[in-house]
A and B are shown apart, each in its own frame.
Chain A
Amino acid sequence: MSLIDSLLAYLRGDEKKTAAVAKERLQIILAHERAGRGADAPDYLPALQEELLQVIAKYIHIDRDMIKVQLEKHGDYEVLELNVTLPERPRA
């Protein structure tokens, strides 16, 4: 990036500070690592994931690894996150 480019980026205010990047990266990786930890992950999660998979498979053809169930804590409340990656539709 040339000096003028970085000056423009600075004036536009769209250059992200590295501390903010660090925080964001940590929040994502730690949410992931905590979910995999015994104490935090409730034991019904695998069963829930399995049943959801069966329901979705009735309607759409998906693979086992294309569905992710995750429980995250945000302060006082918990968020149950369900992530289904749909297969790419072959182009006609």
Chain B
Amino acid sequence: MAKVIVVTSGKGGVGKTTTSASFSSGLALRGNRTVVIDFDVGLRNLDLIMGCERRVVFDIVNVIHGEAALSRALIKDKHCDNLFVLPASQTRDKEALTLDGVQRIIDELKESFDYIVCDSPAGIEHGAYSAMYFADEALVVTNPEVSSVRDSDRILGILAAKSRRAVEGREPVKEHLLVTRYNPTRVAAGEMLSVDDIQEILRIPLLGVIPESEAVLQASNAGTPAIHLEKSDVAEAYKDVVARFMGEDVPMRFVTAEKVGLFKRLFGGR
């Protein structure tokens, strides 16, 4: 049975699209037939992060309006065989995403894919609502920062009250916490909320921690999902996240500060 996963956060700029790109790539690298959908109508960016922006012909709104078949709007990813991208429309307004239309698309995708990853826009407006409505599971992306944690809590409330599973009184959406832009050195110095603090406040199971890294900008510059960057801590962290999501028992990495030697402390360097 296909699973629908929403990548959500409430707050913008915390790493939803970065996560959607790497998480869906990771699922596909493990042989799962995967599709990732951009729900940010009007401000689409998943295509840029995936590096397929010049191959966009039709988008999700074209499919909802019956102007293109779903199969013609899907773009095959250039890095993974089992991965497809369904881009958002750049010109229409958000109201074009009707729940009816989205449901038809998701039902059709369920016939040929194992995982359907929905990249939510920021906010709690219509776009975010339609991205999370059909979700079976949710990746709640949170930065170790007060406004992000508060917004994540708000999103968790909405998932628990307004998702289809909640409305129909079925088993609730399975929630996963993903802490991104984590800096263990600042946590050790007492300057940043720790992953334990965030988990204690939000009270949902931790799926993974992605370290703050310069590699993320390099990945987006190149249009390559960060999970493909060889030997980067971000890629390793995302691979761990996917492994845990698939049920493997993988220890948390990148959560403790590296010890800085005396030489380095005296003479600087990073």
Contacts and interface: CB of A to CB of B under 8 A. Distances in A.
B67 interface: no
Contact of A39 (B161, B191, B192, B200): B161
B260 interface: no
A91 interface: no
Nearest to B197: A23
B-side binding surface: helix, strand, loop or mixed? helix
B194 interface: yes
A30 B190 contact: no
A34 B157 contact: yes
A65 interface: no
B191 A29 contact: no
A37 interface: yes
Interface residues of A, number: 17
A26 B160 contact: no
A55 interface: no
Given A34-B157, A38-B161, A17 B190 contact: yes
Interface in A1-54: 17-20, 22-23, 25-27, 29-30, 33-34, 37-40
B179 interface: no
Interface in B159-210: 160-161, 187, 189-194, 197, 200-201
A22 B146 contact: yes
Interface string B143-164: 0011001100110010011000
B157 A39 contact: yes
Nearest to A73: B203
Nearest to A75: B203
A79 B145 CA distance: 27
Interface of B: 145-146, 149-150, 153-154, 157, 160-161, 187, 189-194, 197, 200-201
Given A19-B194, A38-B161, 19 more contacts: A17-B189, A17-B191, A18-B190, A18-B191, A19-B187, A19-B190, A19-B191, A19-B197, A20-B190, A22-B197, A23-B193, A23-B200, A23-B201, A25-B146, A26-B149, A26-B150, A26-B193, A33-B150, A34-B153
